[in-house]
Amino acid sequence: MTEMSLSTVMEFLEERYPLRLAEEWDNVGLLIGDPEQSVERIMTCLTITPLICREAIEEKADLIISHHPFPFHAIKRLTTETVRGRMIWDIVTEKIAVYSPHTAHDSAPDGINQQIAKRLGLQQITTLYEDKNEKAVSNEGTGRFGMLPEPILFGELLEKTQEAFNQQVIPYIGDPEKSVRTVAVGCGSAGSFLEQAILRGADAFLLGESKYHTFLEAQFNGIGLIVTGHYISERFAMERMAELIQTKFSDLTVWASEVETDPIKYLI
Ligand SMILES: [Zn+2]
């Protein structure tokens, strides 16, 4: 078994999900750990929770790649008296590193939004905010915007979403009988992208999570809104990331957390 350093894995992640693509407010990259430490077992997950923390410790992970940053907010006191403090304490005590790509992963050329756009079968995919940086590669940046191969009914796009994400409950706003062609995409809590989706003339906007007023804003503007659920819109990409790392570093053991599930349950 060849010894692999954390920094080697970090180089691979940086290549695929360049941290310069992260939003300014974000907290990305190596958040806990020593780049020189050796890594044999890597677990990916969407969010570090007490349950996931336990899995990492029991399964002897050396590195957790958590899409959502952990920690995210500044910390002034690190004790075991709070749930978060306890998790960080346990992770550090067990010498487990934590790396979070977050919005760099959302925006990367092969990132989450690109993957969602492909899943919907969109063509001529560009970033949603293409004017942000003229020199940017068209598939590198915030959100995605693309065209369906041919106009379909909004109701068909809803069904397509249901199928693509294997999710029965899909909250939406819009007329199922209306024809749609252009679609904007934003994983997670992407409600703030709605304005840009309208500016780009999108017929529909698919996002992970939406506030009530964002639904209304979409209705006022006659744009269809499709909400997959935050977890559903992002977790699949952490499973894919685990596969990619495993393929690249065959000596390592890499898996996507097996205990992680959508924390939100639906009574149907
Ligand atoms: Zn998210």
What percentage of the chain carries pLDDT values higher than 90?
Answer: 94
C-alpha distances (whole Å) from 56 to each of 89, 135, 202 are 13, 40, 41
Residue 131 pLDDT more than 70?
A: no
Q: What is the DSSP string of 129-164?
A: TTTS-TTS-TTSSSSEEEEEEEEEEHHHHHHHHHHH
Distance, in Å, from the CA atom of 252 to the CA atom of 40, rounded to the nearest integer, reads: 5
Over residues 25-43, mean pLDDT: 97
CA 31 to ligand 1 centroid distance, Å: 17
Q: What distance in angstroms lies between residue 68's CA and the mean position of ligand 1's atoms? A: 6
Q: How far apart are CA 73 and CA 82, in angstroms?
A: 14
Question: Greater confidence, 121 or 267?
Answer: 121
In this model, does residue 137 exceed pLDDT 70? no
| Cα-to-centroid distance, 66 and ligand 1 (Å) | 10
Q: pLDDT digits over 58-92, tens only?
A: 999 999 999 999 999 999 999 999 999 999 999 99
- Kindly tell me if the per-residue pLDDT of 43 is higher than 60: yes
Give residue 171 CA to ligand 1 midpoint distance, Å: 18
What pLDDT was estimated at residue 2?
Answer: 64
More confident residue, 74 or 130: 74
CA distance 126 to 111: 13
Residue 25 has pLDDT above 90, yes or no: yes
CATH superfamily, domain 109-231, is: NIF3 (NGG1p interacting factor 3)-like (3.40.1390.30)
**Gap from CA of 177 to ligand 1 centroid (Å):** 31
Mean pLDDT confidence for 137-159: 93
Query: Cα(27) to centroid of ligand 1, in Å?
Result: 13
List C-alpha distances in Å: 108 to 101, 137, 144.
10, 10, 11
pLDDT at 263: 94
The CATH number assigned to the domain with range 6-103 reads 3.40.1390.30
Retrieve residue 19's tokens.
Answer: 């941290």
What tens digit of pLDDT does each residue of 157-168 get? Answer: 999 999 999 999
Q: Which two tokens stand for residue 49?
A: 């929770």
Q: What is the value of pTM for the model shown? A: 0.94
Q: Detail the DSSP E strand segments found in 1-106.
A: 29-32, 41-45, 63-66, 97-100
pLDDT at 197: 97
The confidence score (pLDDT) of residue 133 equals: 55
Rounded to the nearest angstrom, the distance between the alpha carbon of 187 and the centre of ligand 1 is 7
Write out the residues surrounding ion ligand 1, Cβ under 5 A: 188, 234
Question: What phi-psi label fits residue 133: left (phi over 0), alpha (psi between -120 and 50 degrees) or beta?
Answer: beta
250 burial (CB, 10 Å; 0-12 / 13-18 / 19+) is exposed
3-state secondary structure of 184: strand
Q: How far is the CA of 234 from the centre of ligand 1 (A)?
A: 6
Q: Based on the number of CB atoms within 10 Å of its own CB, is 79 exposed (0-12), middle (13-18) or buried (19 or more)?
A: exposed
Tokens 């709070």 belong to 82
Number of H helices, E strands in the chain: 9, 11
User: Chain-wide mean pLDDT for the chain?
Assistant: 95
The boundaries of every CATH 3.40.1390.30 domain in the chain are: 6-103, 109-231
